[in-house]
Amino acid sequence: MNYCENILETIGNTPLVKLHRVSAGLPCPVYAKVEFFNPGNSIKDRMAVRMVEEAEKRGLLKPGGTIIEGTSGNTGMGLALAAIVKGYKCIFTTTDKQSKEKVDILKAVGAEVIVCPTNVLPEDPKSYYSVSRRLATEIPNSFYVNQYDNLANRDAHYEQTGPEIWEQTDGKITHLVVATGTGGTITGTGKFLKEKNPAIQVWAIDSYGSLLKKFFDTGELDMNEVHPYITEGIGEDFVPQNYDMSVIDHFEKVTDKDGAVMARRISKEEGIFVGYSAGSAMAGLLQLKSKLKPTDLVVVVFHDHGSRYVGKVYNDQWMMERGFLDVKTVKDVVNSRRNLPLVTIAPEEKVHDAIAKMKKFDIEHLPVLQNGQIIGAISEGGLFSKLIDQPELKEASVQSVMHRAFPVVAMDTPIEKLAVYINKENGAVLTQDDTGAHHIVTKYDIIQALGN
């Protein structure tokens, strides 16, 4: 029989996948180390188990003990899996900027999760760093993991991730690209690869709002660099001990928007459903295009799975609220017409009245309004076919020839999604603004909006 004794034995040996579309503008081949194939769906499984095993060896974690850690979510998942197999309890602190999915997943695997504010300094008693440290002093038989300064973090990648990448590329790798936070992945992996070939370039991708790049460039801990940012899992407001900056050749910053947009591109264009940090890593690599040549071979780490971010990066509303999606909505169409009032007709009016209105206002569709309510619609195309067969219908009431009312959509609906509603039988949709006023959007409006 070929089987694993427990889920922890499935960690590692993740695939290396060649990228095609998102890397099309680069002069060299690019391969993704797809880490969501780990059982906890992230690269953090590797170091989480390594840190637990090291604590057991040193007697810091005893049977029946409690694992305590501050985590952005993924390390917590790896620790929780180890705790389940090995019989420990888990208490995790995290920040209020992390996705709800991450918190829910941690709870699903039996962890207690305490959500702390993001916008406080690490030494603030309310920070998720401080709360986790305090709990470790208060709870008997507990172990504070401290992934930031626990060197078993980078050791896991030196022992596993680095050798895997070296073997998978037949030693041909020239560049390693990692969106980095705790420093374990980039330092451990980079150290192994540079021992194999000192010419390999190790590029770290940072976030605006993090101080890591400036520290790398100048050696200065500049807290003026620190400000709130949205990207999850990368960047820091201090320098963890896992960093060995001598292993890293370059730091590149990526905006919240570019990371989020690229994550969505990778998922749609490569079929690899990635998390936020993978988008940042790929966006950072594209920014460094000028540093690459055709003979290079790049490996970029895709850290975790997109399921962690369905309520954020993969939610159109969330993206639009932050200005991350350059999409046109129904509201944009309405505003482009300077909120012209909706032309309607009453059900008791005659068909010839409807034709006159269409001609006067140069429109094809008329909603039928009765007592302030839209009860139906009348369209030029539908009238044409009926009048050809029955010219006398010009004297009939609108109510006798009207069809169903146009569908009503939200003002923030992306234009591209209106294809579900607008078709051969139905030529328009209605929407309502904050005042309750109705507006109409037609096929012509959509064509105009998409053409501009």
- Catalytic residue (one of 44, 102, 191, 194): 44
What is the Cβ-side half-sphere exposure of residue 217, based on CA atoms within 13 angstroms? 11
Contacts of 106 by beta carbon, 8 Å cutoff, 6+ apart: 71, 73, 76, 77, 80, 90, 92, 94, 113
Q: Would you list the DSSP string of 86-134?
A: HT-EEEEEEETTS-HHHHHHHHHTT-EEEEE-SSS-TTSTTSHHHHHHH
For 175-236, the DSSP string reads: EEEEE-SSSHHHHHHHHHHHHH-TT-EEEEEEEBTBSHHHHHHHS---GGG-------S---
CA neighbor of 105 nearest in space, from 81, 85, 86: 81
What is the amino acid identity at position 135? L
Q: Distance between alpha carbon 67 and the CA centroid of its chain, in Å?
A: 28
**Does the annotation mark 44 as catalytic?**
yes
Q: Which two three-digit tokens encode residue 448?
A: 């105009």
Q: Which two tokens stand for residue 272?
A: 């690899």
Task: Give CA–CA dist 273/254, Å, rounded.
Answer: 20
Q: How many residues does the chain have?
A: 452
Point out the residues that are catalytic.
44
